[in-house]
Amino acid sequence: MNKNLSKSSRFKGLRIAITGATGSLGKSLIQELKKKGAYMVGLTHSKKNHVNSDASAPNEWIYWSCGKEDELSSSLKNIDILILNHGFNPKEIIDFNEINKAIEINALSYWRLIKIFEDLAIDNNEDSTKEIWINTSEAEIQIAFSPVYEITKRLIGELVSLKKSKLSIEKSNYLIIKKLILGPFKSKLNPQGILKPEFVAERIIKKAEKENYLIIVTPNPITYLLMPIIESIRILYSKFIKIIYSN
């Protein structure tokens, strides 16, 4: 990422890849970031032919699948910002296979992509700083009327907090992490959502231009109060554990 870019051109000329590119929020983020001058790469599970002429379509499509994240390594090498936005919501308490699917999609695939992008950032550190945005959802700390979804979002949310804590403790600057804590927006995963994805995307991008880590967009004031407190406790806990084991 060019460190000399001004705030007004924060995303201009950057290569940004996003998972969940065909979802409502993915499309909205793509459209808004293209307006900002970014070159958008859509990471998709669908093998259907995609049209790139639409305003909400990326400039380029790349096919991928959960469990084969390593195959994306070469494609992500020249990416400045990676947005992890894919998800699966089983809604009910369901069978073993559906639970496994939710864990794989909502948590494990995220974690593997974070590791791959972090390794690329380390290799690339002398040239530029890479950035990753991770959509953990408000379900990380509150009910979403979908127990399995909540569990998986809580899992990846805590793993991201641990990763952020490690980077903070080591004072590493090769990878910037932004955690997206989003309230209920209307989508295929949540048809009852009360926020418009276009509004959520605009707020995310506006906040990403200024805020360092937590990007919260929700109508629920409790989230704005609780999330920073929870993150602070997790970071302090990580520092405490490091002190214990280093003695």
Q: In this predicted structure, what is the pLDDT of residue 49?
A: 56
User: Predicted confidence band at 242 (pLDDT cuts at 50, 70, 90)?
Assistant: confident
Which tokens is 201 given? Answer: 């995307």
Domain residue spans of the chain: 7-246
pTM for the whole structure: 0.91
Q: In this predicted structure, what is the pLDDT of residue 191?
A: 65
Q: In this predicted structure, what is the pLDDT of residue 52?
A: 65
Give the DSSP letter string of 79-108: -SEEEE-------S---HHHHHHHHIIIII
The yes-or-no verdict on residue 36 having pLDDT over 80 is yes
The yes-or-no verdict on residue 9 having pLDDT over 70 is no
- Can you identify the CATH homologous superfamily of domain 7-246? NAD(P)-binding Rossmann-like Domain (3.40.50.720)
Give the DSSP letter string of 157-171: HHHHHHHHHHHHHHT
Q: Which of 187, 185, 221, 188 shows the shortest CA–CA distance to 204?
A: 185
Q: What is the pLDDT of residues 96-123, one digit of tens each?
A: 999 999 999 999 999 999 999 999 999 9
What is the Cα–Cα distance from 3 to 174, expressed in whole angstroms? 12
Q: Which of 173, 172, 199 shows the shortest CA–CA distance to 186?
A: 199
Average pLDDT taken over every residue of the chain: 89
* Active site positions, annotated: 149
Work out the average pLDDT over 220-247. 91
**Where are the extended beta strands (E) located within 112-185?**
130-135, 175-182
Q: In this predicted structure, what is the pLDDT of residue 1?
A: 52
203 touches 28 (CB < 8 A): no
Considering Cα of 33, then 113, then 25, then 227, what sign does the dihedral take? negative
Cα–Cα separations (whole angstroms), residue 17 to 13, 74, 236, 247: 13, 13, 32, 42
Work out the average pLDDT over 170-176. 91
The yes-or-no verdict on residue 2 having pLDDT over 60 is no
Helix/strand number for the chain, H first, E second: 7, 7
Q: What is the pLDDT of residues 62-78, one digit of tens each?
A: 999 999 999 999 999 99
Helices (H), the chain: 24-35, 73-76, 96-103, 109-123, 147-170, 197-208, 221-246
* Choice among 51-55, 58-62, 67-71, 134-138 with the minimum mean pLDDT: 51-55
Work out the average pLDDT over 55-61. 90
Q: In this predicted structure, what is the pLDDT of residue 7?
A: 47
The yes-or-no verdict on residue 4 having pLDDT over 50 is no
What is the Cα–Cα distance from 101 to 104, expressed in whole angstroms? 5
- Looking at the DSSP bridge assignments, the partners of residue 217 are 182
